[in-house]
Amino acid sequence: MNRSSHRFTVILLLVAAVAGLIAGCKKGGGGDGITIGVVLPITGREGKPGQYQREGIELAIKQINDKGGLTVNGKKLQLKEVFYDDGSDSAKSASLVERAISSDSATAVLGGYSTALGQAESVIPDRYQTPWITTGAAASTIFNHGYQYTFGTLSPTTLLGGITAEFLGAQVDQGKLKKGLKIAMAVENTDHGVDYAQGIEDWIKQHPGYFTIVFNEKFDLGSPDFSGLLQKIKSAKADIFLADAHLADYITMQRQYLQNGLHHQMISYGARGPEADAKKALGAGTDYIFAGIWWSKKLQYPQEQKFVNDYKQFTGREPDSWYAATAYDGMRALALAIEQANSTDKTAIRDALRKVELKDSLLPGGAMKFGPNGQVGNGFLIVQNKPGDKVDIVFPKDVATGDAIAPIPAK
């Protein structure tokens, strides 16, 4: 073989290899199973929520496989999880999603807990035409780029802010709080924090006279010291304190809030409040804090108690806050879409995800479907911690398990 022929043969082999890789990425899976990539933090600052989300996904996979797997083209296929811990690192998170798709031939990927990790991962799915479901990120910036393979099981953070303000407005209407109270806001310096503040501001503009925002400042994630910020909040002389924070920052800020002797008529840390880790760290220091969350085990739908019991049997403990439920539903929605597509072709699964409806969802309303931008739009639940480790759903009224305590009793 002469040199020119050899070069031509090498080029043909390379072209064939690339074509095979593209075809494999598009089809996904392999053998008699369907590979599902899962990229979540189980170490680093987001390790606890990431662990809970992983457990929700793995419980759903186990239940599906225990029933024989998914039916595709008349054949039963088991789900095979490929898991990667991103260590709460954004760059690592994105590269691991890419690895799951390109090296492990994942048919779809779930993960992206937190705004920072979800934003990093969200640029990968369209590149490989592979469905990706974030089970723990809600910032609007993830869903406003027109991505075609991106889906999310968390309702928008702007809605969280809006429902938080609506709940406080309802306390005014009931005569528990006075009209015209002043609000101080401190939000994480992320798009999540921006969306939360925007939701509150929009509601206040639409309902003049209820509240006035007198302080609004951002803080960096993972700060060990919030004393300067809290001193500013104290000086603002607000009646209500609303923060948007991740779990670790919520614990740190609330500890320093108490140490500095602050007191407000109402206090919230956004979507954090009832977590067991916070109660373990702060004890009664979490009493009366309210939170807007995507799920609560106090919901009365028949599927809720089954999920709580199954999760407890699977992990040895009840689900902590909302983390496992949104991940569990994300995996179940994906499984339903695969069966409805009757194919492991990734674009067919993407198309099915756009139409799928999980009619026994754990989320508020009892059903879940993805909106035009890939994000769900279920409502939020307002829960409030009460003395004696009790947590009640206090809003909206139709699913409430107790009345809100407002204002917080003075010490």
pLDDT value of position 14: 38
Chain-centroid distance, C-alpha 354: 19
pLDDT on residue 26: 52
Which CB contacts under 8 angstroms, 24+ apart, belong to 285-288?
Answer: 285/254, 285/255, 285/258, 286/254, 286/385, 287/385, 287/386, 287/387, 288/384, 288/385, 288/386, 288/405, 288/408, 288/409
Contact call for residues 308 and 298 (beta carbons, < 8 A):
no
What is the predicted pLDDT for the residue at 327?
Answer: 98
The CATH superfamily assigned to 158-293+382-399 is Response regulator (3.40.50.2300)
- pLDDT tens track of the chain, all 411 residues? 444 444 434 333 333 333 344 444 455 554 579 999 999 999 999 999 999 999 999 999 999 999 999 999 999 999 999 999 999 999 999 999 999 999 999 999 999 999 999 999 999 999 999 999 999 999 999 999 999 999 999 999 999 999 999 999 999 999 999 999 999 999 999 999 999 999 999 999 999 999 999 999 999 999 999 999 999 999 999 999 999 999 999 999 999 999 999 999 999 999 999 999 999 999 999 999 999 999 999 999 999 999 999 999 999 999 998 999 999 999 999 999 999 999 999 999 999 999 999 999 999 999 999 999 999 999 999 999 999 999 999 999 999 999 999 999 987
- Listed in order, the ranges of the chain carrying CATH 3.40.50.2300 are 11-155+300-369, 158-293+382-399
SS3 312: helix
Q: Which residues contact 3 (CB under 8 A, 6 or more apart)?
A: none
Residue 32, pLDDT score: 78
Burial state string for 17-32 with b = 16 or more CB within 10 A and e = fewer than 16: eeeeeeeebebbbeee
Q: How far apart are CA 110 and CA 330, in angstroms?
A: 8
pLDDT of residue 411: 73
- Which helix (H) or strand (E) segment holds residue 386: the answer is strand 381-386
Tokens of 407: 């204002």
Q: Crossing angle, helix 3-27 and helix 346-355, to 10 degrees?
A: 20
In three-state secondary structure terms, 28 is: coil
Q: Which helix (H) or strand (E) holds 249?
A: helix 247-259
Q: Which CATH number fits domain 11-155+300-369: 3.40.50.1980, 3.30.420.300, 3.40.50.2300, 3.40.50.300?
A: 3.40.50.2300
Exposure string of 296-330, with b = 16+ CB inside 10 Å and e = fewer, is: bbbbebeebeebbebbeeebeeebbbbbbbbbbbb
Q: What is the 3-state secondary structure (H, E, C) of 97-121?
A: HHHHHHCCCCCEEEECCCHHHHHHH
Report d(CA 359, CA 246) in Å as an integer. 30
- Residue 11: its pLDDT value, please? 36
**For the whole model, what pTM was predicted?**
0.90
CB-based contact 216:183 (threshold 8 Å): no
Residues constituting the chain: 411
d(CA 338, CA 353): 8
* Number of other CB atoms surrounding residue 214 within 10 Å: 16
The confidence score (pLDDT) of residue 159 equals 98
pLDDT at 260: 96
Q: What is the dihedral of CA 346, 352, 354, 356, to 10 degrees?
A: -140
